[in-house]
Amino acid sequence: MNGERLVDVYLLPAAMRELPPPWNDLTYRRSQALEELAPTEERREEARHVLRVCLPERRQSVHDWDEELRDFYDDRDDHTLDEADAWLTRIMPTTSQVTRQRVAQVVGVWADMRIPTVSAPPTDQQIDTVAAEWATSVRQALAHDAFAFIERATVSGSLSDPETQDIALLACGFVRVGLAVEAATRVLVSLGRPRGEDALLDLVRDAEVQDFRPFVRSGLLRLRRSLYETRAREVPRDEEPLLPDGLRGLSHSWQNDFDWGATAPDGKSLARARSALEASLAVERSPGVGRSYGGAPVDWDAIAEVVRALMPYPRLVTRERMNEAWHECESLGFDLRGTDAVSFAGVWCARIADRVTAAVFRWLADLPHVEGATGHKEPEALSTPVFWAAGLAERSVRRGSAVEEAIWFLHRTDDVPDSREALLRLASDPSLPAATREAARQWTV
């Protein structure tokens, strides 16, 4: 290595090097000391000062440079990886000691320990990589503890309005640069409405947030869930229903994915199951039922949290509430790829029908069956046979609705001629997707 590179260079700004105890402590003792401190006004200001000096000017990246070795070391008994990490705080226990030369010492120790990512002797590039990562890790660790300390104060409700405004700005700043994102988001959630909610709304709409958006949105949804629950308790009046009668009459909800659970297989429940399946087949299919709409990806599975919170039961699925869900998803920063309110409603009506269909076929497939007098399998001790479901199962598969569950039902009842013949047709129909044909074929051999 060049001689001039041996001159000690600080890796942290002066304000971080001059932090008071326990904030300047980079060992485990810092967190222990902070837990013992009461979040007084003076201490809270101290924590906010820590956040201000740790916030970098531009986006950071913590690559976890040793993560790729984790599996390798999991198979070892000598805890070499933990020992290697410990050398960083052993040689640099305070913020004032974080220098490139000390990092070089640590990397030299790693080389002696035969850490695979370090050559012997280490190169300048390896030292610079570790130095950059360590400096960023220090910022992140201090910010994490500062946010956790402040969060304790938010729980007690002792923060002033100027404090909450400053904290919200700092938390948003850290999310945007990609440091201590989880801790910063938790603080915003703890600030509640409106301060924390407004900040989270700004973040989910910000392009800088990028891959952190789902986590930030999850915090925002926690704050808005009470609004959804209030709306869901309102009885639909003068609202346009979007689902057929056979679905609107169901008492099952999203909570267990419309699961019928321990519903007794009596004549009434079987009639309701048939009505639900027939109603589901009447729901118009939408091009966005899958994970894309118009050829571009839309995260429908994530959006489901909003839809099911506003409309937890099929009877609540109305035009008005679907419009609300669509507007809400737009405000939450979901990328709807140009999906308008009408298309959005079409997607979700079809998806709800698919989920109900899947739940009904799971329930029917799990019923105990015995041979009836007609030669058909019938639910044990029941006079109402369910072989009528074979035709509905085949229709569901052909329209791509609850394919796995419908085929499983046909397999469970394949002693019934209708079910067996439906499986054979599905297994040999070249117009169906190859995966669908194969799923049916496995039960025909």
Cα–Cα dist 95/24, whole Å: 5
State residue 378's pLDDT score.
54
pLDDT at 77 over 60: no
Question: Rounded mean pLDDT of 62-83?
Answer: 52
- Cis ω before 287 (30° cut-off from 0): no
pLDDT at 385: 57
Q: What does the pLDDT look like over 241-289, one tens digit per residue?
A: 999 999 999 999 998 899 998 888 888 999 999 999 999 999 998 765 5
The pLDDT value given to residue 375: 53
pLDDT surpasses 80 at 5: no
> What would the two tokens of residue 240 be?
């346009």
Three-class secondary structure of residue 45 per DSSP: helix
The residues with which 25 forms a beta bridge, in sequence order, are 94
pTM for the whole thing? 0.79
Provide, rounded to the nearest whole percent, the portion of the chain with pLDDT above 90.
67
pLDDT for 223: 93
Mean pLDDT of the chain: 87
- The larger pLDDT score, comparing residue 61 to residue 141, is at 141
What is the mean pLDDT of the segment spanning 397-409?
Answer: 96
What mean pLDDT comes out for the span 80-90?
Answer: 79
CA distance 111 to 107: 6
- What are the pLDDT digits (tens) for 208-225? 888 889 999 999 999 999
* Confidence band for 296, pLDDT divided at 50, 70 and 90: low
What is the per-residue pLDDT across 340-382, written as a single tens digit (0 to 9) for each? 999 999 999 999 999 999 999 999 998 876 454 445 555 554 4
pLDDT at position 287: 64
* From 15-29, 121-135, 233-247, 374-388, the region with the lowest mean pLDDT: 374-388
pLDDT tens, residue by residue, 123-155: 998 898 889 889 999 999 999 999 999 999 887
d(CA 21, CA 407): 65
Is residue 369 helix, strand or coil? strand
* Selected residue with higher pLDDT from 88 and 1: 88
> How many residues can be counted in the chain?
445
- The answer, yes or no, to whether residue 200 has pLDDT greater than 60, is yes
Which pLDDT score is estimated for 45?
A: 95
Measure the CA–CA gap between 47 and 143, rounded to whole angstroms: 9
Check residue 6 and give its pLDDT.
Answer: 52
Q: Which residues contact 105 (CB under 8 A, 6 or more apart)?
A: 91
Name the more confident of 288 and 175.
Answer: 175
Q: How confident is the model at residue 158 (pLDDT cuts 50, 70, 90)?
A: confident
The answer, yes or no, to whether residue 301 has pLDDT greater than 80, is: yes
Strands 369-371 and 377-379: antiparallel
439 vs 8, more confident = 439
Cα separation, 327 vs 313, in Å, equals 20
CA pseudo-torsion sign 278, 279, 282, 288: negative
